[in-house]
């Protein structure tokens, strides 16, 4: 079965885990719909996929824009007939990480990109998956949602915990419909988002982390499994545990 011919929406597809997963899935024959706020980034990934013989489309959309997401999904269904996989990967953290320093604007932005976008995209695809009698929804959370800390930040940790909870709700709400939901919970992953931390990790520290490609392999494993099988929750984290206390103290 695998992913050949499957239609896969990937949010946050312009860099990091989203980009790596798009390239991986396309290499296995999937038709990839890249969603991201910056057209230049997702178009670059689209061209890379097409240069390797894959199929991809790009949509410059903010996942928190419910109306735009709601308009995009029917277009894909009209063109390809179905939506097989949704990867809710878009998201970011806040420059400030502590309770009293995090601004209302930062709180709104993190909630919108990580949680509301995940909900809106899921709401958009579920009717079509229900009609088809099958579908795979994969949400990307974080170990910050399991073990909150100053390093992950107040609002990012809370929102990623909500994403984990939302995934469990989906499996309850959509049981016996043929739709399965999984949440991938990475530890530290070497992606561009680390550059925006108050204290960016060093090159040596990044060398011990999980890579975007490692995470993409785990996500693709979930997506390619026969629909009768689900992995509700998958943690992927570095084998080597590094000391982050110095970074946390400086936040």
User: According to the model, what pLDDT value does residue 244 have?
Assistant: 74
Q: Which of 171, 189, 188, 172 is nearest to 180 (CA)?
A: 171
Length of the chain in terms of residues written: 251
Of 97 and 124, more confident: 124
Of 238 and 77, more confident: 77
Write out the catalytic residue numbers: 156
pLDDT tens digits for range 142-175: 999 999 988 889 999 999 999 999 999 999 999 9
CATH class of 7-249: alpha beta
Is the separation of the CB atoms in 157 and 149 below 8 Å? yes
Is the overall model pTM greater than 0.85, yes or no? yes
Residue 247 has pLDDT above 90, yes or no: no
What CA–CA distance (Å, rounded) separates 83 from 184?
20
User: According to the model, what pLDDT value does residue 54 have?
Assistant: 98
Q: Which of 138, 135, 104 is nearest to 215 (CA)?
A: 138
pLDDT tens digits for range 187-235: 888 777 777 777 777 777 777 789 999 999 999 999 999 999 999 999 9
Domain boundaries, the chain: 7-249
User: According to the model, what pLDDT value does residue 241 have?
Assistant: 81
pLDDT tens digits for range 41-96: 999 999 999 999 999 999 999 999 999 999 999 999 999 999 999 999 999 999 89
Q: For the chain, what is the mean pLDDT?
A: 93
Rounded mean pLDDT, 27-39:
97
pLDDT tens digits for range 104-133: 999 999 999 999 999 999 999 999 999 999
User: According to the model, what pLDDT value does residue 249 have?
Assistant: 53
User: According to the model, what pLDDT value does residue 32 have?
Assistant: 98
Burial class (CB within 10 angstroms; exposed 0-12, middle 13-18, buried 19+) of 65: middle
């Amino acid at each position: 079965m695998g992913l050949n011919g499957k239609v896969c929406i990937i949010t946050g597809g312009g860099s990091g885990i989203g980009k790596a997963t798009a390239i991986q899935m396309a290499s296995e024959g999937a038709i990839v719909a890249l969603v991201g706020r910056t057209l230049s980034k997702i178009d670059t990934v689209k061209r890379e996929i097409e240069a390797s013989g894959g199929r991809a489309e790009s949509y410059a959309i903010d996942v928190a824009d419910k109306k735009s997401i709601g308009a995009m999904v029917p277009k894909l269904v009209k063109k390809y007939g179905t939506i097989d996989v949704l990867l809710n990967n878009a998201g970011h953290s806040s420059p400030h990480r502590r309770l009293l320093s995090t601004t209302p604007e930062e709180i709104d932005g993190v909630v919108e990109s990580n949680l509301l976008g995940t909900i809106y995209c899921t709401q958009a695809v579920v009717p079509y998956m229900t009609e088809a009698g099958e579908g795979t929804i994969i949400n990307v959370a974080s170990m910050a949602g399991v073990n909150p800390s100053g390093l992950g930040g107040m609002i990012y940790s809370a929102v990623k915990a909500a994403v984990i909870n939302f995934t469990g709700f989906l499996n309850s709400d959509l049981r016996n419909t043929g739709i399965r939901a999984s949440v991938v919970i990475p530890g530290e992953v070497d992606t561009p988002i680390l550059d925006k931390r108050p204290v960016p990790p060093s090159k040596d520290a990044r060398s011990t982390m999980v890579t975007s490609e490692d995470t993409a392999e785990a996500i693709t494993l979930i997506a390619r499994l026969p629909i009768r099988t689900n992995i509700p929750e998958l943690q992927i984290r570095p084998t080597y545990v590094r000391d982050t206390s110095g970074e946390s103290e400086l936040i």
